[in-house]
Chains A and B, each alone.
Chain A
Amino acid sequence: MLLIPCPWCGHRDESEFTCGGEAHIQRPADPAALDDADWADYVFMRTNPKGRHRERWCHSHGCGRWFNVERHTLTHDIVAVYRMGETPPDHGEADGT
């Protein structure tokens, strides 16, 4: 079980949260210009790294707010927590390292 630091409520049990999957997937700015492959990439393709992963969580049984977490998918270490709209802390790209 993860212990997740909500930016508003502090550390809480994972069971209070819902994971919303990969973060920073931008809705295409000009949807009409996209072809089917671009749409597939936006809707379905995921990075799924073995390593640091930036993902969205919602404190659904707490304050109800969404925020971002950077977490290692092998050790489950939470490397950073930051609010929606904030730029991720800069320690290199989240990746498969």
Chain B
Amino acid sequence: MTRYSIFSLARNALGYHRGWPRAWRSPEPAPTYDVVIVGGGGHGLATAYYLAKEHDVGRVAVLEKGWLGGGNTGRNTTIIRSNYLWDESAHFYEKALQLYEGLSRELNFNIMLSQRGVLNLAHNEHDLKEMSRRVRAIRLNGIDSEILDPAGVKTEVPVINISGDVRYPILGASLQRRGGVARHDAVAWGFARAADARGVDIVQNCEVTGIEIANGRVRGLQTSRGTIATRKVGLVAAGHSSVLAAMAGLRLPIESHPLQAMVSEPIKPVLNSVVMSNTVHVYVSQSDKGELVIGAGIDGFNSYAQRGSFQVVENQMGALLELFPIFSRLRMLRQWGGIVDVCPDASPIVGKTPVDGLYINCGWGTGGFKATPGSGWAFAHTIAQNEPHELNAPFTLERFSTGALIDEHGAAAVAH
């Protein structure tokens, strides 16, 4: 792997940038691996990277049916934060945020992390009480979080409308200053390049079509590019998790829904932080190119179609203009959808399954981009040790029979 640096940039500039080597190999799948990760999104690639870096597990492959990051990783609105209510989630998401803070250096790949602050708005008495409880819980876990009054919100976000003459006036906000955004593709590509450099085979255009199990143990995978023998498989397929689990005869507490986002035409910098509102149901940030990146809620029905309904777009625009009347004449440029894996308690499932050698990482729903490095780190540990790390130990599939749910609807249902 050529290291990226100011010197390699200068050297390649002399050759008119025609000499850059490819960032990762494109190998044929081998007949046997020690561990196979299914799904080449951020979480799968991060898992492979930490398996290769921190654990001695032998040969590792990542199988991706399309292209790297073509799932939710490349479709999300890239918001990163760790302001979750319960201890279990707070520690897990905070681990991810801390890994993000060192990730560009770790991977030698600029993931363009921008810790510009994330605001969650309060619009009524209940929101205010809920916010103050949440901020205190977050701070007790050692995570930065503060409360702003409407004037404080206006100082952070000068273009927001804090007038009392609207249906849902802004009464305050919580702010996590270490929150922000990162470049989604760069996270996938950075992990892919670093994993490849440590010997991981990344195989694109390779769809897993069956899981071979004998005596309750994984034996291998059927794929669109032949059979692969392996004794350990990690399923990291987001919206397609139920489809893959069904190949192993398992049912999951997951339903797949479309989630949409859109970007406006680019404008001069006006919005310096990420603003979210659960109550009016919208969130927005401004990209480095100047586009507003706007997200909304999921469609109510199950779907695998990677597109969403128009009334969701209408609601989202109405909510945006409630907060920012100044955006009323902006045109929207592009709109797209991803298929998110929604879990009943809005928390992920990261751990073992009833099948020996089969591990699952899913249920991140509308908010897993922020968790990418932490999820990969803990899942790699789980696969290598055949035992969850203490960070992901509460996030088992069994919690749905024991009742130990981790209800994060307040932190994750609208805000992503």
Contacts and interface: CB of A to CB of B under 8 A. Distances in A.
A53 B301 CA distance: 10
B1 interface: no
Contact of B401 (A36, A48, A71, A76): A36
Contacts of A43: 400
A14 interface: yes
Interface stretch (B30-38, B86-94, B304-312): B304-312
Q: State the majority secondary structure of interface residues on A.
A: mixed
A73 B246 contact: no
B252 A45 contact: yes
A96 B243 contact: yes
Interface size class of A (residues with CB under 8 A): 20 to 34
A75 to B, nearest CB: 7
Contact of A50 (B251, B254, B304): B304
Interface residues of B, number: 24
Contact of A39 (B252, B303, B401): B401
B169 interface: no
Interface string B298-335: 00111111000111000000000000000000000000
A2 B307 CA distance: 12
B240 A50 contact: yes
B256 interface: yes
A44 B344 CA distance: 7
A87 interface: no
User: Which of the listed residues B251, B252, B311, B401 has the most CB atoms from chain A within 10 Å of its own CB?
Assistant: B401
B310 A1 contact: yes
B233 to A, nearest CB: 19
B402 interface: yes
Interface string B252-279: 1111100000000000000000000000
Nearest to A20: B300
A45 B305 contact: no
Contacts of A32: none
Contacts of B400: 40, 43-45
Contacts of A9: none
Contacts of A2: 301, 309
B380 to A, nearest CB: 27
A70 B382 CA distance: 39
Contacts of B309: 1-2, 14
B251 A1 contact: no
Nearest to A36: B401
A86 interface: no
Contact of B302 (A41, A45, A73): A73
A37 interface: yes
B255 A76 contact: no
A48 to B, nearest CB: 4
Contacts of B254: 46, 48
9 contacts: A2-B301, A36-B401, A36-B402, A46-B242, A46-B252, A47-B251, A49-B242, A73-B256, A74-B305
